[in-house]
Structure 1
Amino acid sequence: MKKKQTLIKNAHIVNEGTIFNGDILIEGEYIKEISDSISAKSSDVHVIDAEGKYLLPGAIDDQVHFREPGLTHKANIETESKAAIAGGITSFVEMPNTNPQTTTVEKLEEKFAIAAETSSANYSFMFGGTNDNLDEILKVDPKSVAGLKLFLGSSTGNMLVDNPEVLEKIFKSTNMVISVHCEDEATIKKNFQEHFDKYGDDIPVSCHPIIRSEDACYISSSKAIELAKKTGARLHVFHLSTGKETKLFSNKIPLKDKKITAEVCVHHLWFSDEDYEKKGTLIKWNPAVKTKEDRDQLWEALLDDRIDVIATDHAPHTIDEKKNVYTSAPSGGPLVQHALPAMLEMYHRGKISIEKVVEKMCHNPSILFEIEKRGYVKEGYFADLVLVDLNNPWTVNKDNILYKCGWSPFEGTTFKSRITHTFLNGSLVYQNAKFSKEKAAKRLTFNR
């Protein structure tokens, strides 16, 4: 059977630190050819003129919470993966703190089965560590999952790993990438009690970064890094939120050789504590959005390669849940549809180059997690591609938000850049705000 072909012509192709004008021929699931000029060999070839548009690899989001199973009143894999595709994110790694939690191989495989049926984007999952599931961790095939997730603070259920002996055993026992949420629970509890004694349940949300403080983050991050150095574990620290933490990371060697890496999330690059007055609990995240100075230092570390990856920590809740008083309002918010447009907005503001956005959102997650044949515009790679019009403004509003929860912290924001086409494994799955019915998503595989 003849494989279908798509020819993208006249694109500004962004890949590996360069932008060049050219054409791309997709055959079946893969990029067959990249050249200055390619001619359609037959009338069967679907030709797309990308004149004036930028072609990027599909973004890879290494940290999302799609809430399935068990929390599907907030979100599910089907709704949130569609939002991701509309936002130019073609692959995601989902977290284990669902209900039930993904802390056994059986529960992990159940999640893969759900994604195989319903996901619009390529998918993998983190396996969750607890104080008492080392035996299950050792059963996990490192080639079949993205990695291991440990909550060293701010966990749900029983996922807080706070036994130092267990933690050291886990670090010594696995060669999977260990991704960690770092906030020191004792520090947070002390700070919270002080504020609760003063305000009761209705603590001003502006106190959130004081409760979940710089010290809470730094104490936990520095301990995790110390343990990784002691044990030789491969450590990835999720969602840095403080300038102080950035000093714990290095840019002295290439990412592929690093044993200790770091990520920053879109909200920590976009918002600061000055935004709590207007946005309230809508920007209540763990770790907290902190000061403008912290944000500036995160940007500095991102651009000088101490921070390796930009992710979302997409974690939706219903608007009713978020409208509760401080102690009852959950932390987290939806981001996958708006992360890439937000970072391209930062390009327009002169904060970051498009090449750097692609490095941090496409290339580096692929390198860090050793994802097979994704994250680049390369011949022989899967055709996960995104076409972007950098000068086609649109405003985020209720009518165009695709998250199941129906709201966004970016509501009312106008982005200059618009994702016009998303290709997944060679299929055009999204074009000008419309989704195709084609099922193209695949389970991610890893070169380990």
Structure 2
Amino acid sequence: MILIKNVEIYSPKYIGKKDILICGEKITLIEDSIEFNNEKVKVIDGSNKKLVPGFIDQHVHITGGGGEGSFKTRVPEIMLSKLTSTGITTVVGLLGTDGSTRSVQNLVSKAKALKEEGISVYVHTGSYEYPTVTLTDSVRKDIIFIDEVIGCKIALSDHRSSTITNEELQRVASDVRASGMISGKAGILVVHMGDGKRGLSPINEALDNSDIPIRTIRPTHVNRNEKLLFESFDFAKEGGIIDLTCGIYEKLSPRKVINKALSQGVESENITISSDGYGSWSNYDQFGNLVKIGVSSVNALYKEFKAMVLEENMKIEDALTFVTSNVAKALELYPKKGTIKENSDADAILLDENLEINTVIAKGKIMVENKEIIVFGTYE
């Protein structure tokens, strides 16, 4: 058991200075004062600290991305402490361009490994390509029968993606929708958006010519260029959920565009943020030749949150929603995840007065304490 005393709690809404008791993997009690005199209870002094929900990063290449500049550019798998040290207690893994040398089998195996090591992990079947790569040879079966799989991924408006028809896009989205309903999962189609000239039009056309609910399809990387960004605002104003990626361009960083989105009538809950961690970023010339490649970091999520507060003067409770409660609701994990409430999962971060990460708790276990990693992955 863990008892945190005298801590300011953001759920993410600020609820005041309280004590919080964690038993097993759950938050058991939140009260103005909780007293325990038992040596089996670990007591943490939360004075001058803020307790916030653990971050949820819904777009991480946990088995490594890349590979677009030949085999040597394949990014390695992520290790546990890379996630926990940046406050990430729940992660959603997926494949990228390469669905050939990497597989959904590998992805699910890595998810199970990270779960064994102490954090919450979900994945999406699929990759950039169509027909969709799967584990069971069926998108529906992957989502219905594999616990970790909550949706599917595909890519559009990108020279690296398959060129698919509206009917094919509708078919994948329908499969995802139905399998989510059957299995009681989110059942979402995450769509990697590239810089292609068609932008969001394939998604809009697929929705206009079908009965697929708009929230089934989730475009991500929508802040990679201004045209795509403003198209995504229209999409979100219709009730869709858009995902902003950290670290693409400074002027189009999530912290720079969120206020613009809100001023144009986009509902706050329709916006989420993710890191694209351990995926590769790449630049191409006008002929499609690769000129530069690098790797995205999962700490971009924490850096973005901190910058929203310290640089953009956003309220802590507002900034937190984009990396906690909004994401949990979008993935249909709320209030199990994304909040500090009684009976919610004990995923939490203790921040100091400068918003530096002091302690990270995942599923009731301390992973980082006093800025030191105390739980490492198996091969770290």
Is 1:376–2:339 an aligned residue pair? yes
What does residue 202 of structure 2 align with?
223
Instruction: Quote how far apart the aligned CAs of 1:327 are.
Output: 4.1
Show structure 2 runs of 5+ residues with no match. 178-186
For 1:70 and 1:263, locate their aligned partners in 2 and report how far apart those are by CA, in whole Å: 20
Select 1:266's aligned residue among 234, 239, 246. Answer: 246
Instruction: Quote how far apart the aligned CAs of 1:437 are.
Output: 3.2
For 1:302 and 1:15, locate their aligned partners in 2 and report how far apart those are by CA, in whole Å: 25
What does residue 172 of structure 2 align with?
170
For 2:212 and 2:165, locate their aligned partners in 1 and report how far apart those are by CA, in whole Å: 19
Select 2:192's aligned residue among 153, 173, 181. Answer: 181
For 1:378 and 1:306, locate their aligned partners in 2 and report how far apart those are by CA, in whole Å: 19
CA deviations 1:248-270 (Å, max 9, x no partner) are 13458xxxxx5x211112325x7
The residue type paired with residue 45 of structure 1 is V
Instruction: Quote how far apart the aligned CAs of 1:150 are.
Output: 1.0
Select 1:15's aligned residue among 11, 21, 30. Answer: 11
What does residue 119 of structure 2 align with?
121
Is 1:237–2:224 an aligned residue pair? no
CA deviations 1:47-67 (Å, max 9, x no partner) are 111111111000101111234
For 2:204 and 2:302, locate their aligned partners in 1 and report how far apart those are by CA, in whole Å: 29
Instruction: Quote how far apart the aligned CAs of 1:116 are.
Output: 4.6
CA deviations 1:342-361 (Å, max 9, x no partner) are 32232123442111122111
Instruction: Quote how far apart the aligned CAs of 1:148 are.
Output: 0.9
The higher radius of gyration belongs to 1
Deviates further, 369-378 or 54-63: 369-378
CA deviations 1:355-405 (Å, max 9, x no partner) are 1122111111111111261111111121110011132xxxxxxxxxxxxxx
The residue type paired with residue 189 of structure 2 is I
Is 1:32–2:14 an aligned residue pair? no
Q: What SS does structure 2 have at the residue aligned with 1:179?
A: strand
Distance 1:131 1:246, change over 3 A: closer
What does residue 152 of structure 1 align with?
156
What does residue 395 of structure 1 align with?
none
Instruction: Quote how far apart the aligned CAs of 1:138 are.
Output: 2.5
For 1:45 and 1:250, locate their aligned partners in 2 and report how far apart those are by CA, in whole Å: 46
What does residue 307 of structure 2 align with?
345
Which structure has greater strand proportion?
Answer: 2
Deviates further, 335-344 or 382-391: 335-344
What does residue 437 of structure 1 align with?
375
Deviates further, 12-21 or 29-38: 12-21
Instruction: Quote how far apart the aligned CAs of 1:239 are.
Output: 2.1
What does residue 357 of structure 1 align with?
319
TM-score (norm 2): 0.78
Show structure 1 runs of 5+ residues with no match. 188-218, 253-257, 273-288, 392-416, 441-448
The residue type paired with residue 336 of structure 1 is V
Q: What SS does structure 2 have at the residue aligned with 1:167?
A: helix
The residue type paired with residue 136 of structure 1 is S
Select 2:41's aligned residue among 28, 45, 64. Answer: 45
Distance 1:296 1:28, change over 3 A: closer
Q: What SS does structure 1 have at the residue aligned with 2:34?
A: coil
For 1:64 and 1:108, locate their aligned partners in 2 and report how far apart those are by CA, in whole Å: 11
Q: What SS does structure 2 have at the residue aligned with 1:223?
A: helix
Select 2:142's aligned residue among 140, 143, 146. Answer: 140
For 1:237 and 1:36, locate their aligned partners in 2 and report how far apart those are by CA, in whole Å: 42
Q: What SS does structure 1 have at the residue aligned with 2:268?
A: coil
For 2:255 and 2:34, locate their aligned partners in 1 and report how far apart those are by CA, in whole Å: 48
**Kept in 2: contact 1:70–1:100 (CA 8 A):** no
What does residue 421 of structure 1 align with?
359
What does residue 277 of structure 1 align with?
none
Give the share of equivalent positions with the same residue, in percent: 22
Deviates further, 300-309 or 230-239: 300-309
Alignment root-mean-square deviation, CA: 3.7
CA deviations 1:293-333 (Å, max 9, x no partner) are 96863574698427421111224559xx99x9x94345564
Count the aligned residue pairs. Answer: 350
Instruction: Quote how far apart the aligned CAs of 1:33 are.
Output: 0.5
